[in-house]
């Protein structure tokens, strides 16, 4: 019986999406009626407010757009940083691997929100004390730095795992062709390792996207903070936060589905 249903819906994908859609609307509406019967989405979600939450203020980067911006910048920087750290740790060369390991383990153990606070409050102090430079950083810059710090640590571990997953035979085969260690690394090992890492890195990106909501604590006006700012004025948290939750869900869900498709493509390549 179950096999038949599963097969049926696998074939009729549009019907499946419609079924899900219907279910979700029924569940959502039931929840709203039971939990918060007086919900008034219309007055909470005016055009201006939605515009603010999605785009922020005029001539300033904010809202959901800022969320994406922050996520993209952070992932690119942490990809670079994480690669360096991951390779350093994997290399086994003590001068590189010991500091890399210390960095990675430290930033993996710390709660993200602490790192964000730390960077925002402590960095100007540090620069002032140790370098005598007066540094004022904007909340956004602090956020980017903080994200880069802890995401690099996570990506470093992904890189290390990817490098470790290459069978020893690859090294040996390349060496017998007469390549030196450097060439083996660049031409044979790294390309294969990075292909294997793609799914993990993509899922780390989705994770990062969700984590952008944390910069609330230092006042960066991205999507979540924007919503709380409005909530502090009109006190309609059920409606506003439902909206926030739905938008986050749609974005993260879509991103992870895209990641899944890319992963399938990569798998095909790897196995062909």
Partner 1 sequence: MAYEFDWTVLITYKQLLIDGFMMTLKLSIIGIFFSFLIGSLIGLLRVSGNFFLSLAGTYYVEFFRNIPLIVQMFFIYFSFTLTDAFPFLESFGNSIGVENHNEFFSALIALITYTSTYIAEAVRAGIQSLPKGQMEAAKTIGMNYFQSMYYVVFPQAIKMVWGPITSQFLNLIKNSSLAMTIGVAELTFQTQEIDSLTFRGFEAATAVTILYLVLTLGTAYFMSIINKYALVKTQSEVGGTR
Strand-pairing partners, residue 63, are 222
Question: Crossing angle, helix 223-234 and helix 47-55, to 10 degrees?
Answer: 150
**Residues within window 186-225 making contact with partner 1, judged by CB under 8 A:** 210-211, 213-214, 216-217, 224
CB of residue 15 to partner 1, shortest distance in Å = 13
Angle between helix axes 190-211 and 139-164 (nearest 10 degrees) is 140
Which C-beta is closer to partner 1: that of 201 or that of 247?
247
Residues written for the chain: 272
- Applying CB under 8 A, among 179, 241, 266, 267 the residue interacting with partner 1 is 241
Contact letters (x/-) for partner 1, 31-70, by CB under 8 A? Answer: ----xx----------------------------------
**Does 17 participate in binding partner 1 (rule CB under 8 A)?**
no
CA–CA dist 61, 92 (Å, integer): 43
222 backbone dihedrals φ, ψ, rounded to 5°: -95, -165
Q: Residue 124 — φ and ψ, nearest 5°?
A: -60, -40
CA-closest candidate to residue 243, choices 36, 54, 61, 26: 54
Q: How far is CA 54 from CA 58, 64, 137, 182, in A?
A: 12, 4, 24, 47
Q: How many residues bind partner 1 (CB under 8 A)?
A: 44
Q: How far is the CB of 179 from partner 1 (least distance, A)?
A: 34
Residue from 91, 141, 183, 256 binding partner 1 (CB under 8 A): 256
- 6 in contact with partner 1 (CB under 8 A): yes
Contact with partner 1 (CB under 8 A): which of 121, 261, 264, 270?
121
Residue 248 binds partner 1, judged by CB under 8 A: yes
**Within 129-158, which residues bind partner 1 (CB under 8 A)?**
129
Which CB, 9 or 55, lies closer to partner 1?
9
Do 42 and 50 form a contact (C-beta atoms < 8 A)?
Answer: no
Stretch that binds partner 1, among 49-57, 94-102, 139-147, 248-256 (CB under 8 A): 248-256
67-102 burial, b if ≥16 CB within 10 A, otherwise e? Answer: bebbbeebbebbbebbbbbbbbbbeeeeebbeebbe
CB 220 within 8 A of CB 64: no
Minimum Å gap between C-beta 131 and partner 1 is 12
Report yes or no: 73 and 67 within 8 Å, Cβ to Cβ.
no
As measured in angstroms, the least distance from the Cβ of 217 to partner 1 is 6
* Angle (CA) 69 79 219, round 5°: 35
Kindly state whether residue 183 participates in binding partner 1, applying the rule CB under 8 A.
no
Q: Write down the least CB distance from residue 144 to partner 1, Å.
A: 18
> Contact positions toward partner 1, by CB under 8 A?
2, 5-6, 9, 20, 23-24, 27, 35-36, 106, 109-114, 117-118, 121-122, 125, 128-129, 210-211, 213-214, 216-217, 224, 228, 231, 237-238, 241-242, 244-245, 248-249, 252-253, 256
């Amino acid at each position: 019986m179950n096999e038949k249903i599963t097969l049926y819906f696998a074939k009729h994908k549009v019907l499946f999406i419609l079924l899900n859609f219907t279910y979700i609307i029924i569940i959502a509406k039931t929840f709203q009626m039971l939990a918060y019967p007086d919900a008034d989405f219309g007055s909470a979600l005016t055009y201006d407010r939605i515009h603010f939450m999605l785009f922020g203020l005029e001539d300033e980067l904010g809202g959901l757009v800022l969320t994406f911006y922050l996520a993209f910048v952070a992932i690119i920087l942490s990809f670079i940083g994480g690669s360096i750290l991951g390779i350093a740790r994997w290399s086994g060369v003590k001068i590189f691997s010991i500091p890399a390991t210390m960095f990675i383990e430290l930033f993996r153990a710390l709660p993200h929100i602490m790192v964000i606070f730390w960077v925002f409050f402590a960095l100007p102090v540090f620069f002032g004390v140790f370098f005598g430079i007066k540094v004022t950083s904007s909340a956004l810059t602090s956020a980017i730095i903080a994200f880069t710090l802890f995401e690099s640590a996570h990506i470093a571990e992904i890189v290390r795992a990817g490098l470790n997953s290459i069978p020893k035979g690859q090294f040996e085969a390349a060496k017998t062709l007469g390549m030196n260690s450097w060439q083996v690394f660049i031409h044979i090992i790294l390309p294969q390792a990075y292909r294997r890492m793609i799914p993990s890195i993509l899922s780390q990106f989705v994770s990062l996207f969700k984590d952008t909501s944390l910069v609330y604590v230092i006042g960066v006006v991205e999507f979540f903070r924007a919503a709380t700012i409005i909530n502090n004025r009109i006190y309609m948290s059920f409606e506003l936060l439902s909206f926030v939750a739905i938008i986050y869900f749609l974005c993260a869900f879509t991103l992870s589905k895209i990641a899944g498709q890319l992963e399938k493509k990569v798998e095909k390549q790897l196995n062909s």
